[in-house]
Amino acid sequence: MPLAKALELAQEYDLDLVEVAANARPPVCKLMDYGKFKYESAMKAREARKNQAHTVIKEMKLRPKIDPHDYDTKKGHVVRFLKQGDKVKITIMFRGREQSRPELGYRLLQRLAEDVQDLGFVESNPKQDGRNMIMVLGPHKKKTEAMAEARQAQEARKAEAKANPGRSQNAADVEASAEEPAEA
């Protein structure tokens, strides 16, 4: 269709003549409301960004001579981060004489990797970086999967709360323990 006729047709229907494929022979144009098209494409892009998951690298710092309870606490944090779908960078800081014993830090990192192997994998093997030894763990689950699971768990808790209004989980635990006979 000639350009003049296409422009006349666009004015008749109060639309815009938009070139879709400039490299085609002949060039391809389309009649559309260009403002509406731009708005809809911006909304689609915004929705895509909203559903996009950002992988975050969390950091956990340890010392080679860590107490067992402290180790368990730090390991719990690492487990939580991996369950959320985040990567975890574990740093072991050496001070003074500890710097002459890097195998202590290496063994500690290997132990931590074994303890969380069901949730994550070693993405970057332990390597010495000056006074620090660094290892990166990556989750088996993607961030989007972890977010979806968390959303489902939250919805399940809300449904449970609606089913039993005005009753918390602690109240149910107290009632259950009160029903058990006391030992003499």
Q: Where are the domains of the chain?
A: 3-51, 57-139
How are beta strands 132-139 and 120-129 bridged, if at all?
antiparallel
Mean pLDDT of 107-130: 91
Is 78 or 50 the better-scoring residue by pLDDT?
78
pLDDT digits (tens, 9 = 90+) for 48-69: 887 776 777 899 999 999 999 9
CB neighbour burial string for 131-143, b if at least 16 within 10 angstroms, e if fewer: eebbbbbbbebeb
Q: How far apart are CA 145 and CA 120, in angstroms?
A: 14
The answer to whether 120 and 137 are in contact (CB under 8 A) is yes
Give backbone dihedrals phi and psi of 76, rounded to 5 degrees, phi first: -60, -40
**Confidence category of residue 184, pLDDT binned at 50, 70, 90:** very low
| 79, 107, 139 from 134: Cα distances, Å | 17, 12, 17
pLDDT band at 89; cut points 50, 70, 90: very high
Percentage of residues in the chain having pLDDT higher than 70: 89
Q: How is domain 57-139 classified at the architecture level of CATH?
A: 2-Layer Sandwich (3.30)
What confidence score (pLDDT) does residue 63 get? 92
**For residue 143, what pLDDT band results from cuts at 50, 70 and 90?**
confident
Q: Does residue 182 carry a pLDDT above 70?
A: no
Both tokens of 141, joined, read 């689950």
Handedness of CA 77, 78, 82, 87 (dihedral sign): positive
For the cut 70, the answer to whether the pLDDT of residue 145 exceeds it is: yes
Q: What is the pLDDT of residue 178?
A: 53
Instruction: Give the CATH number of domain 3-51.
Output: 3.10.20.80
